[in-house]
Amino acid sequence: MKAIQFTGKGEARLADLTVGDLPPGHALVQVKAAGLCHTDIDVLHARYGDGAFPLVPGHEYAGEVRAVAEDVTGLRTGDRVAVDPNLPCGACPSCRKGLSNLCRDLKAYGVSHNGGFAEYSIVRADHLHGIGDMPYHIAALAEPLACVVNGLDSAGLRNGARMPEHALVIGAGPIGLLLALSLKAESTQNVAVADINEDRLAFAAELGLGGIVSGAAELTARRRSYDFVADATGIASVAEGMIDLLADGGTALFFGVCAPDARIAVSPFEIFRRQLKLLGSHSLNRSIPDALDILRKDGGSMARLVSHQLTLEEILPFFTRKPTDPATMKVQFAAP
């Protein structure tokens, strides 16, 4: 089968690989759609995970079941599925607390195990979730959206919780927009999006997101205005700026992936005096089914985040070259 393969740090190629045997408890999935995400680039440069080369990347994917191991029940050939890529150990303190995303030995398809940028992928059957008749390119958004769900859970903003009146998401890339659209879907009244790129902001407005904030100066003018602010840029100085944007009693979510050695300055007095909440959220925590629910209810705005549907050959350069076109949102491998 054809696959994208990372052969070493910074080295990606199109490879011809054998599919391999189907171990007990596993299913063979014909990949129909797989999304590219910044984590893939970090995996390529061994900045995320252990640098388990050679590796087929891709942790955001959906496809059709082509075979199941003999001992697998509840899953059949022909089933349409989305993958939960996380492989927690199940035994460490975090796993026992139900925080599988914080497993101290967390593995994942596309990070430590071969993932979705291939014609086929062998996946544990209990990591497959039925998608019904949902189009594959939408189902492949379930993984990043499940990360958003985990972020909203971390902030206590789901399932009828008291939603913020004014929310702001900084960074209008695919994950920032998924977060903003989810806040809207959870009935946050005013969801603003900030970015320095006008094209991305225009696209956010097209998706029905209001309160567009363009650039640092406009942001500064809105200090202390938001009950909830999330950083989806992963730029430490932007994340630091969230605190000043929070209204008293507000919540800041550190959602973007900042450099591990980056530091920000925070006034503990201000957190105390203004009763602020600073929260983190990492990856997804068995939240693919919740994400699929949101996608089912979404009126097509999330699907519009898929800007490219490419073959494996066409997607290869995206691993090594940063796209310069601001209209590039979610880039996906789409099986012909």
- Site residues for Zn ion per CB under 5 A: 37, 39, 88-89, 92, 95, 103
- Residue with smaller CB distance to Zn ion, 35 or 250: 35
Minimum distance of Zn ion from residue 175's CB (angstroms): 8
- Residue with smaller CB distance to Zn ion, 200 or 330: 330
Minimum distance of Zn ion from residue 49's CB (angstroms): 12
- Residue with smaller CB distance to Zn ion, 29 or 95: 95
Handedness of CA 244, 200, 149, 191 (dihedral sign): positive
Q: E-assigned strands of 190-335? A: 190-195, 210-214, 226-231, 246-254, 277-280, 306-310, 330-334
Minimum distance of Zn ion from residue 143's CB (angstroms): 6
- Residue with smaller CB distance to Zn ion, 92 or 212: 92
- The answer for 160, left when phi > 0, alpha when psi is -120 to 50, beta otherwise, is left
- Residue with smaller CB distance to Zn ion, 46 or 92: 92
Minimum distance of Zn ion from residue 8's CB (angstroms): 21
Tokens 């998608």 appear where?
Answer: 131
Minimum distance of Zn ion from residue 37's CB (angstroms): 3
Are 133 and 64 in contact by the 8 Å Cβ rule? The answer is: no
Task: Select from 261, 213, 260 the least CA-distant residue to 241.
Answer: 213
Q: Residue 138: how many CB atoms within 10 A of its CB? A: 22
Tokens 């082509």 appear where?
Answer: 66
Tokens of 334: 């789409």
Element (H, E) at 201: helix 198-206
- Residue with smaller CB distance to Zn ion, 128 or 245: 128
Minimum distance of Zn ion from residue 39's CB (angstroms): 4
